[in-house]
Amino acid sequence: MKPESGAEQDGGRAGTGQLDLFGSQGDRHRYDSVEHVAGEMERCLKCGLCRSVCPVFAEVLDESGCARGKIALIEALYEDNLTLSRIFSDRLSKCLDCKSCMEVCPSGIKVDELVLAARAEIFKRGKFPFLKKLVFRHLLKRGNLLPPVGKFAAFVERKILRGLPPSSPYRMLLPLVKIDKDRTLPVFAERTLMDDFGEIISPKGKPRMRVGFFIGCSTNLMYTDIGKAVIRVLLGEGIEVVIPREQGCCGVPVYTSGDRRTGTELALKNIKAFEKYKLDAIVTACAACGAALKRDYGTILGFRENALGTRVYDLNEFLVEFSDLDFDTGRRNPVNVTYHDPCHLSRAQGITEAPRRVLDAIPNVTFTEMEEAERCCGGGGMFSFSHYDIAKEIGKKKVSYIAATGADVVATSCPSCMMQLKDMLNRNGLPQQVVHIVQLLASCYPRLD
Ligand code: SF4
Ligand code: SF4
């Protein structure tokens, strides 16, 4: 249960290549065109089961919304019966990558790989917005530009936008960048998580383990409290935390939009960043980042053996495996909590039990399960920005289930879901607070000095 600490073995940076990563790149561009997924398309039985679970189809009521319709479109493109048009791109962009269809598909079709291969094809043929390409290739890839941009946004928010009425002309400008003027967005932090912590953070006494912390962009730049809570919990567990400075965006927004090349470069950058250290495990509190590191680097980007992924744990999963989760049950104010399963934790990683075990262990939490807790919230990363009208309808259903529990707090395990849930609750006039599980759990551990 408690492995020997890597910190004990090397006393600092290891550089020993404990993670065996570089014999494993394989033909990593396997899924960069529809030609490579032709076999998958052939296996579709046209049964339509995917329609019954697809949150996009439920709103658009158009065949192209569900997996069967998308497969038919991709097949037509592959067989040259269709030209790659703006309409085709739009139809293929209407997928949350929620993987609900894959759960019910009798043929076990890898819908995610098919859709992403089609998007890669769109990207390759140049049918891709220039601005997005600019952001992917220059902002996300060169991760060192992100913190200054985030800090500038924090400055503008603090000095100019805060306190302005909702009708202010500044808010009216948001639609110009395709953001609804009434949308609730998280604010950028004045200091990133990396600004506040060194590369290696040691607990009091001899560490029992040494783990790498994959932070993720939203936790580093916006939801820094989540990152602080993760560090508090791990240190409280007697675990040394390593935050490699060279880590960057996990690549999800990039390769799910079709830019495989930049996605692969980001993956390699992260692999190298963590490969430098001797670590017992790598932990993340972001469901989307976890699914990328564990799964997509292998399946989507085509690394034949994803050795990094085998060391990655979602925080809930890690704690259930390596902690006793046994806390003092002294008096605390009770909190009524419900839980939303992020698609990238439940379906992409198969983790549903661990977050509930963690919630159950927190002494002051009273848990109420919501109806369809695993139903997608409608966020889908970039989806809610490009298809806010559909995201709003999907989110409305989700928050009605939250409200029906009577809970005061909705916990989840993904910053991206938090963004969508908070916006949807506000939009529907509901008062529930949205937190990451680790923010509730952190109160069970000593404060950070
Ligand atoms: S459930 Fe699977 S096999 Fe049936 S139509 Fe959908 S994708 Fe095809
Ligand atoms: S992944 Fe989700 S949104 Fe996309 S086709 Fe499947 S069920 Fe629909």
> Does residue 111 form part of some domain?
no
> Does residue 404 form part of some domain?
yes
Our mutation pick for probing the ligand 2 site, out of 49, 53, 56, counting the most ligand atoms within 8 A of Cβ, is: 56
> Domain of 364: which CATH number?
3.40.50
> Does residue 94 form part of some domain?
no
**Cα–Cα distances in angstroms (integers) from residue 181 to residues 43, 170, 178, 261, 423, in the given order:** 44, 9, 9, 33, 12
| Shared domain check, 304 and 193 | yes
Residue ID of nearest Cα to ligand 2 atom 7: 54
User: What pLDDT does residue 25 have?
Assistant: 41
Average pLDDT score over residue span 268-274: 91
Give the span between the Cα atoms of 57 and 376, in whole angstroms. Answer: 13
Give the span between the Cα atoms of 142 and 447, in whole angstroms. Answer: 34
Q: How big is the chain by its Cα radius of gyration, in Å?
A: 22
Q: Which of 293, 322, 351 is the last residue of a domain?
A: 322
Give the span between the Cα atoms of 392 and 396, in whole angstroms. Answer: 6
| pLDDT-wise least confident of 20-34, 353-367, 404-418 | 20-34
Q: Could you count the other beta carbons within 10 Å of the beta carbon of residue 33?
A: 17
> Does residue 69 form part of some domain?
no
Shortest-distance ligand to the CA of residue 343: 2
Mean pLDDT score of the chain, rounded to an integer?
86
Q: Could you count the other beta carbons within 10 Å of the beta carbon of residue 269?
A: 17
Give the span between the Cα atoms of 131 and 129, in whole angstroms. Answer: 6
> Does residue 243 form part of some domain?
yes
3-class SS of residue 301: coil
Q: How many domains does the chain have?
A: 2
| Shared domain check, 263 and 235 | yes
Please tell me if the CB atom of residue 226 comes closer than 6 angstroms to any atom of ligand 1: no
| Shared domain check, 364 and 341 | yes
Shortest-distance ligand to the CA of residue 46: 1
| pLDDT-wise least confident of 111-125, 251-265, 302-316 | 302-316
CA neighbor of 341 nearest in space, from 314, 365, 318: 314
Please tell me if the CB atom of residue 107 comes closer than 6 angstroms to any atom of ligand 1: yes
pLDDT at 302 over 90: no
Average pLDDT score over residue span 409-423: 97
136 or 269: whose pLDDT is higher? 269
Please tell me if the CB atom of residue 67 comes closer than 6 angstroms to any atom of ligand 1: yes
> Does residue 307 form part of some domain?
yes
CA of 101 to the centre of ligand 1 (A): 8
Q: Could you count the other beta carbons within 10 Å of the beta carbon of residue 371?
A: 13
Residue ID of nearest Cα to ligand 2 atom 6: 101
pLDDT at 253 over 60: yes
User: What pLDDT does residue 150 have?
Assistant: 67
Would you say the pTM of this structure is higher than 0.85?
A: yes
First to last CA, the chain: 28
| Shared domain check, 437 and 346 | yes
| Shared domain check, 213 and 318 | yes
> Does residue 114 form part of some domain?
no
| Shared domain check, 354 and 307 | no
| Shared domain check, 429 and 384 | yes
Place of tokens 């509190």: 285
Task: Specify the DSSP element, H or E, that contains 114.
Answer: helix 111-124
* The residue count for the chain: 449
User: Which numbered atom of ligand 2 lies nearest the CA of 376?
Assistant: 2
Shortest-distance ligand to the CA of residue 50: 1
pLDDT at 301 over 80: no
Average pLDDT score over residue span 25-30: 45
Residue ID of nearest Cα to ligand 1 atom 2: 105
CA of 93 to the centre of ligand 2 (A): 11
User: What pLDDT does residue 180 have?
Assistant: 73
Residue ID of nearest Cα to ligand 1 atom 7: 68
Spatial neighbors of 126 by CB under 8 A, at least 6 apart, are: none
How would residue 261 be classed by pLDDT, with cut points 50, 70 and 90?
confident
3-class SS of residue 432: coil
| Shared domain check, 342 and 309 | no
Pairing between strand 365-367 and 335-339?
parallel
Residue ID of nearest Cα to ligand 1 atom 1: 105
Residue ID of nearest Cα to ligand 2 atom 8: 54
Q: Which of 297, 322, 347 is the last residue of a domain?
A: 322
DSSP 191: S
Q: Which of 267, 291, 322 is the last residue of a domain?
A: 322
> Domain of 272: which CATH number?
3.40.50.1860
| Shared domain check, 230 and 276 | yes
CB 337, CB 409: distance < 8 Å: yes
| Shared domain check, 279 and 221 | yes
pLDDT at 183 over 70: yes
User: Which numbered atom of ligand 1 lies nearest the CA of 107?
Assistant: 3
CA of 31 to the centre of ligand 2 (A): 18
| Shared domain check, 302 and 196 | yes
> Does residue 426 form part of some domain?
yes
128 or 363: whose pLDDT is higher? 363
Q: Amino acid identity of 400? A: S
Structural domain boundaries enclosing 247 = 6-26+189-322
pLDDT at 119 over 70: yes
User: What pLDDT does residue 71 have?
Assistant: 96
Our mutation pick for probing the ligand 1 site, out of 50, 53, 95, counting the most ligand atoms within 8 A of Cβ, is: 50
Using a 6 Å CB cutoff, which residues line ligand 2? 53-56, 66-67, 95-101, 111
CA neighbor of 68 nearest in space, from 84, 45, 91: 45
User: Which numbered atom of ligand 2 lies nearest the CA of 70?
Assistant: 5
Reading the block at residue 20, the tokens are: 């065996």
| Shared domain check, 293 and 197 | yes
Shortest-distance ligand to the CA of residue 93: 2
